Structure 1
């Protein structure tokens, strides 16, 4: 049995010849294409289907489903109708020709349907087939099956006659044990001579192994239980017992043929063919999000970090609100200690947390980043102010001061610089021996406020000047107007240099 390389506990359903690896349904690229083929995430080669041989549930663990197999309106209607026809054929012996025809038709239809169930189950169809296929070729099939039974019985009798009772009895037992294999071969080939080929029957039994014996035991138990049920029904319903007995027999026949077909499906790899269960095919199609997740898992387990990083950045654009991608990529960079990538991705992740209002993770994430990149500061004035606010609330004053210090040089056009320096002054004021620096920051905040107001007034005057138009005198030459006279705001801005905060040595 082959297992998935990336999920060692799961059976493989596909094989990549290019990479020489086995994969399960979760680890393949099932994106729709014109050829309806599945591809390998690593090399993009077309995958070979292994069927359900490695994932199928053993038939001895599926007995409940086997007995539910005929429980549908179509199958039960056929079972009841053929049982009723068989009873009618038995109770009117005076019309023996009509009785024989009815019995042959009923038995042939039931056998034909049972063999169809075996064939379809072996190909992975776990739902009972349409009963319309039971009405074609049933009588011919019945005679062929009778002839096969006669041939095997004659063989056992001749063995007893020519080689003695002991050895003949052994050969008879072998013939009886081989009978299900003969039925299976007959269902597969629809050829009586191919079904009676002892080498083919022995090959089938050998390929399946001990579970074939287990199937024989189940079939014997079912046959015995049918006899017990017949006696029980006859005692309770002496009048209508024959009909109920016939229904039970036909029901068990369908179940047994379904089990034989399922055994073939289970050991398809040993028997040299490949089939997938229709229950697997009915699984809902994966979304693009699930497919990208599967691709990431494969690349991660392969250690292909370069392609994995590229796939993550594509996912950020394709799924900008999917927290799973952002969180997993951050953890990946942190665990793998990718300093350069972390310095580049840190701001993206912090902005994502802020956008999703996950404020509780902002400061802890920043501290994780600084453990990997000690001098890291986000290259965004708004993010710095936001982080400094939360750090101050948590009592982490020194990181908050470091976050805000020098912002007037780094981001001179930032609109909220006055508020940033007001916050910086508050942080410094809460630190011991930093009152002087706090006062300087307050002065800086006041000057920045005045400069912002002056700039706002200047921009408003410029806007009004652009909107004002003077019409030239009628009939006179156009007069070229000079530029408007410069208007002084009357404010001078002298930034007070901010000294680095002094930290007491412990």
Structure 2
């Protein structure tokens, strides 16, 4: 049995001839027709479900539920009624024979169809319309095969003695399921009765074939017990109920034989997949991307892992698992440079998702790897500073806000940022002077922002007026351009390093 390289406890369903590895359904790229390898992109060879299928002896409850649907049960009841009617009208010999052959032939045809479909992985009972085509021919072939086997046993018993004849009879009874299976596969009587083919099939399956024989004997015995019980309790309907139970068990037994073939498909030289597995293997794009990342991570291709994660961020901007997993991976592996690049992406994702409870703890985790890290976003630094101020971590708030007028001169929220910084400094001992300087700076920054806003508004109005004038009087001589205002020249209040001052005050 082959196992998945990336899930060593799971059976493999595909093989990559290029990488020479085996994979399960969860480790392949099934986005397009034909599964492909995540690593090399080659088309994979299907191994079927032989490595992952549940043993047939564990599916007995499902096997007994197999015929329990309206179509199958209607066929069982109809064929049972016809067979009972055929036994009750012996005076109409020809009609009785026709009814009986039609009923039994239809049931056998449907049972063989169940065997074939189950062997190919179809775990739902097939359409009953398949039971009404070629049923009588199939039944006559089965009768002829039975006569041949009985004759072989009789001749062996007559010419070779009781012991050898009994051995031949035992072997024929033992190989009967194999003969039926071969007949369902080949639809040829001679190939089905080939003893070497039957022996090869039994040898390929091994001991579980004997277990199937035991189950079939138990069901046949239970049919006899139920016949007696029904005959005692419901004598008027005993024949009909007995026929229904027998037909029901027939379909169950053929389904079990087909499932045994499906289970040992690798040993029998063919490949098939269960329709149940196909339903389970239908994945979303998110699950497929997650599997792709997992495969490359286990292959040790970390560069590709990083690339895939950033692709995932663009394709699935609201999927938290990708952002969290990548952050945890960088933190555990202590990838400082990557963390500095990714830190702001993750912080902004948390802010967008309103996960404010994780913002400060995540920022501290980043600082653990990169002690000098500061987000390259003015708005994020202000947001973090507010949260740290609420949590009582005033030094961290000062660190985030200090010097922002130099790094983010065009940030519209600079006045509010320095108002916040002044509030934080006011709560620190011995920092009232610096708090006052920050308040003055915030006012200067606000005045500068107002002047800039007025200049932009004047420029916009002048541009609109010029466009309106050019459309109304195109040949009019243009007025000389008005000199642009250079704005106010503001001198920011000198400000010492706040962190240095706080450290000096603590030492004092």
TM-score, normalized by the shorter chain, greater than 0.5: yes
- Of 337, 352, 357 in structure 1, the residue corresponding to residue 334 of structure 2 is 337
Secondary structure, aligned partner of 2:410: coil
Which structure 2 residues correspond to residues 389-468 of structure 1 after superposition, within 5 A? 389-466=386-463
Which structure 2 residues correspond to residues 135-284 of structure 1 after superposition, within 5 A? 135-283=132-280
Secondary structure, aligned partner of 1:51: coil
Q: 1:448 to 1:406 in 2, by over 3 A?
A: same
Secondary structure, aligned partner of 2:15: strand
Q: Which runs of 5+ in 1 are unaligned?
A: none
Provide the C-alpha distance between the structure 1 equivalents of 2:15 and 2:484, rounded to a whole number of angstroms.
78
Q: 1:155 to 1:130 in 2, by over 3 A?
A: same
Secondary structure, aligned partner of 1:53: coil
Q: 1:453 to 1:139 in 2, by over 3 A?
A: closer
8 Å Cα contact 1:265/1:275 also seen in 2? yes
| Count of residue pairs the alignment pairs up | 500
Q: Taking structure 1 as the reference length, what is the TM-score of the superposition?
A: 0.92
RMSD of the alignment, in Å?
A: 2.5
**Number of the residue aligned with 1:100:** 97
Deviation at 1:376, TM superposition (A): 0.3
Which structure 2 residues correspond to residues 341-356 of structure 1 after superposition, within 5 A? 341-356=338-353
8 Å Cα contact 1:406/1:498 also seen in 2? no
Alpha-carbon displacement from aligned partner over 1:264-293 (angstroms, at most 9, x marks no partner): 111111111011112223447322222212
Deviation at 1:12, TM superposition (A): 1.6
Deviation at 1:44, TM superposition (A): 0.9
Q: 1:160 to 1:281 in 2, by over 3 A?
A: same
**Number of the residue aligned with 1:26:** 26
1:11 aligns with 2:8: no
1:497 aligns with 2:495: yes
Q: 1:498 to 1:420 in 2, by over 3 A?
A: farther
- Of 33, 36, 39 in structure 1, the residue corresponding to residue 36 of structure 2 is 39
Q: Which runs of 5+ in 2 are unaligned?
A: none
Secondary structure, aligned partner of 1:401: helix
Q: 1:395 to 1:95 in 2, by over 3 A?
A: same
Deviation at 1:309, TM superposition (A): 0.9
Provide the C-alpha distance between the structure 2 equivalents of 1:464 and 1:483, rounded to a whole number of angstroms.
14
Provide the C-alpha distance between the structure 1 equivalents of 2:101 and 2:459, rounded to a whole number of angstroms.
105
**Number of the residue aligned with 1:374:** 371
Secondary structure, aligned partner of 2:92: helix
8 Å Cα contact 2:448/2:488 also seen in 1? no
Provide the C-alpha distance between the structure 2 equivalents of 1:479 and 1:174, rounded to a whole number of angstroms.
116
The 10-residue stretch of structure 1 (219-228 or 411-420) with the greater mean CA deviation from structure 2: 411-420
Deviation at 1:382, TM superposition (A): 1.3
**Number of the residue aligned with 2:355:** 358
Q: 1:466 to 1:226 in 2, by over 3 A?
A: closer
Alpha-carbon displacement from aligned partner over 1:25-77 (angstroms, at most 9, x marks no partner): 12111113xxx211111111111111111121211111122122222222222
The 10-residue stretch of structure 1 (157-166 or 304-313) with the greater mean CA deviation from structure 2: 157-166
1:73 aligns with 2:70: yes
Q: Taking structure 2 as the reference length, what is the TM-score of the superposition?
A: 0.92
Provide the C-alpha distance between the structure 2 equivalents of 1:311 and 1:170, rounded to a whole number of angstroms.
66
Deviation at 1:487, TM superposition (A): 6.3
